[in-house]
Amino acid sequence: MPEVPEVLTAPLVVEFPFTRSLGPVQSAFLTGLRERTVLGVTCQDGRVLVPPVEYDPVTAEELSDLVEVAPTGTVTTWAWNPGPRRGQPLRTPFAWVLVRLDGADSALLHALDAPGPDAVRTGMRVRIRWAAERTGAITDIACFEPSDDAPPATAPVPHDGEFADPVTGITAPARLDYTYAPGRAQSRYLRALADRRTVGERCPACRKVYVPPRGACPTCGVATDAQVEVGPRGTVTTFCIVNIKAKNLDIEVPYVYAHIALDGADLALHARIGGIPYDRVRMGLRVEPVWTEGGRFPDHYRPTGEPDADYDSYKELI
Amino acid sequence: MSNAAHKEPVAVVGIGQTKHVAARRDVSLAGLVREAARRALDDAELTWADIDAVVIGKAPDFFEGVMMPELYLADALGAVGKPVLRVHTAGSVGGSTALVATNLVAARVHRTVLTLAFEKQSESNAMWGLSLPIPFQQPLLAGAGGFFAPHVRAYMRRTGAPDTVGSLVAYKDRRNALKNPYAHLHEEDITLEKVQSSPMLWDPIRYSETCPSSDGACAMVLTDRAGAARSPRPAAWVHGGAMRSEPTLFAGKDFVSPQAGKDCAADVYRQAGLTDPRRQIDAVEMYVPFSWYEPMWLENLGFAEEGEGWKLTEAGVTALDGDLPVNPSGGVLSTNPIGASGMLRFAEAALQVRGQAGAHQVEGARRALGHAYGGGSQFFSMWLVGADSPAA
């Protein structure tokens, strides 16, 4: 029989398509890439920065003198990436490179398509390989490729940054992959729930019973040491009626979101109330859990039919 | 140890904010913070070179998805070669950020500090950012409103406040916002009836009793006595400032009137030498994201006895022409770039005692309180500013 791990774990993927308003300088830069034109910005001391920045790194003044630089350049340093990951520029092993484009004084980070680390060196000449489909994003540069025949350095050329149909914003998807572990105390709590028992933990110092337990009392700062079964019945201490449907939440509105002090617990847990019209739920209502087959939690709580709890009996738990 | 006489008096000599709107698609994050910072410098008639350090705050990185934005924003804030500090205390961060900057001047670490806070909510989704699908947890909540609405109901039950009070606050604040050119919501045709008939989102909280989602930034220039002496405009002097925190959830937590908030206010009043805040304070900018939080904080901050806060609101005491105006700027209910919202409270309090609040100026304001809270009512930050220097 496989050993049951003490602590539960589960994958947690957090992803969201953030948007970015570009402002004038980044808008010109990314629109330029779409048109196979690499723009930099001239600082007050005359240096040309690629990619361009909005504000002078020395004087903090606003910058707007754009220049076009060459699609060829020189590798200033590099690192071999033997195992490309999801979302990286190339699927085969490649070199991360800093490339100083001809006409620029700073280097741009990108990928270099090379057969192996032996084919990469600082000082090598490279050129842009443009993506077939370009949208106004840094990925419009598919990658760099070696280019021994690249022409020598050229001077930057002033550019007004004007393009038809400029890109003013981009979407920047972010994704984080975690392995989530709720900890020992919550794991104990969750295991007990699987047997349809609600088990809190008592603080040895203040004697308060925490449900769900977190392994320590946040007031006393000591580990909770004793498990205490609470409920199953409890009292609605306060609630709200939710009238707006949340994305990815399969609950019909309106529904009642309540704080419930289970009998024997010293703080309320949060749950949905069912089995009663939403507009008849009230503070002090006595409730009990309703389980569904295979549910990790009670699906909801419903009235027990007992008389309402006296306000004084739960007012300290609000 | 905290002996005010040993500290350098701190003055607010420059204040800047953006016109807050739902979406500033014309500027990058850098462009947004820059605009507020530039206005604060212009107000103080100073240049980037006059600034010794920058202290910046915003709500969690996950709201816009830019990790450690302070690094990317250093150029835009003239911070190259200077210390940049980032402060992070959820919704109260704008206040905490101003206090960290204040303490740097008070401790004579720096003479002139630029502090600012921002949020570009249009590039993010705060409701989503606050409701991540944590494994093993039952998904139930629907944003911050769903979290705070039960506490509002508890307040109503505890005090017997009539259910009309929330609408009064929203109507007042939205009317005040009409006098503030920087406020996000300018609802020219607002009526009390419209507020009262707006949809119930998280009963007992109605749509018109909730804050908007805004893009905006706020900046202040803080300086020492010598800096204040050179200031072209009146300074607001910091008479007291404090932060307190407590756990989000613990047995015995009073969500309606958290102990950390009471302690924070008491500390600020003690530093400022106030014994009767209700009479000694002329204007309050408090963090009210849901209208019912006005009467709740009136009690928590010691302006009313427990159970009596709603009576001040109902009697018009907190109106712009009342004797304790609350949120003359229109408050968070009219403008909510989350990270900046706390600093806006602090800055608006300072504008009042500088006599520079324009159409929403409280006549003769000499002392004003700025207040912010964040997380699950777990972080509090406040300052008291005055027209007179603390030594005077």
Q: How high is the pLDDT of residue A133? A: 97
Considering its fold, how many domains does chain A have in total?
A: 2
How much of chain A is helix, strand and coil, in % rounded to 5?
10, 35, 50
The answer to the question of residue A302 being in a domain is: yes
Amino acid present at A155: A
Is B142 in CB contact (< 8 Å) with chain A?
yes
Find the closest chain B residue to A203 by CA distance: B251
pLDDT at residue A120 is higher than 50: yes
The boundaries of the domain holding residue A192 are: 182-317
B92 contacts: CB under 8 Å, gap ≥ 6: B243, B287, B342, B372, B373, B374, B375, B379, B380, B381
On whether both A151 and A192 belong to a single domain, the answer is no
Q: Please say which residue of A175, A206, A232 terminates a domain.
A: A175
Give domain status of residue B250, yes or no. yes
CB A285 within 8 A of CB A259: no
ipTM: 0.92
pTM for the predicted model, two decimal places: 0.95
Does B57 reside within a domain? yes
Mean pLDDT in residue range A160-175 = 94
* CA dist., res. B352 & res. B369, Å (int): 10
Query: What is the model's pLDDT at position B142?
Result: 62
Residue A16 has a pLDDT of 86
Single residue among A140, A159, A175 that ends a domain in this structure? A175
What dihedral angle (degrees, nearest 10) is formed by the CA atoms of B130, B134, B139, B143? 0
Is B207 part of the contact surface with chain A (CB cutoff 8 Å)? no
Could you tell me which residues come within 8 angstroms of residue B370 by beta carbon, excluding any fewer than 6 positions away? B95, B98, B285, B342, B345, B346, B347, B348, B349, B350, B382, B383, B384, B385
Residues A211, A124, single domain; the answer is no
Asked if residues A127 and A147 have their Cβ atoms less than 8 Å apart, the reply is yes
Q: Are residues A163 and A188 in the same domain?
A: no
**pLDDT tier for residue A2 given thresholds of 50, 70 and 90:** very low
CB B30 within 8 A of CB A23: yes
- pLDDT value at position A174? 86
> What CA–CA distance (Å, rounded) separates B40 from B38?
5
Q: Are residues A142 and A59 in the same domain?
A: yes
Least confident range from A172-176, A311-315, B147-151, B238-242: namely A172-176
What lies within 8 Å, CB to CB, of A76 at 6+ separation is A98, A99, A100, A107, A122
Q: From A140, A175, A210, give the residue that closes a domain.
A: A175
In three-state secondary structure terms, B62 is helix
Partners of residue A186 in chain B, C-beta under 8 Å:
136
- Domain assignment present for B144: no
Confidence of residue A119 (pLDDT cuts 50, 70, 90): very high
pLDDT value at A51 more than 70:
yes
Is B204 close to A240, i.e. CB distance below 8 A?
A: yes
Q: Residue B223 belongs to what domain range? A: 4-126+211-386
Task: Decide if B48 and A60 are in contact by the 8 Å CB cutoff.
Answer: yes
A215-267 pLDDT, tens digit each: 999 999 999 989 999 999 999 999 999 998 876 677 888 999 999 999 999 99
The answer as to whether A8 is a domain residue is no
| Nearest chain A CA: its distance from B11 CA (Å) | 25
pLDDT at A157 over 50: yes
Domain annotation covers residue B193: no
Predicted confidence band of residue B1 (pLDDT cuts 50, 70, 90): very low
Cα atoms in the Cβ-side hemisphere of radius 13 Å centred on B333: 34
**In this structure, what CATH number is given to the domain that contains residue B240?**
3.40.47.10
Residue A96 lies in a domain: yes
Residue from A240, A247, A262 whose CB has the most chain B CBs within 10 Å, to mutate: A240
- A152 has a pLDDT exceeding 70: no
Shared domain for A253 and A207, answered yes or no, is yes
Helical axes B293-300 vs B259-272, angle rounded to 10°: 60
List the 60-79 stretch of B: residues with Cβ below 8 A of A: 64-66, 75-78
- Angle among Cα A149, A151, A153 to the nearest 5 degrees reads 135
Instruction: Encode pLDDT of B103-134 as tens digits.
Output: 999 999 999 999 999 999 999 777 666 777 88
Is residue A3 domain-resident?
A: no
Q: Are A159 and A191 part of one and the same domain?
A: no
| Residue A11 placed within a domain | no
Residue A153 structure tokens? 């350095």
Residue B145 included in any domain: no
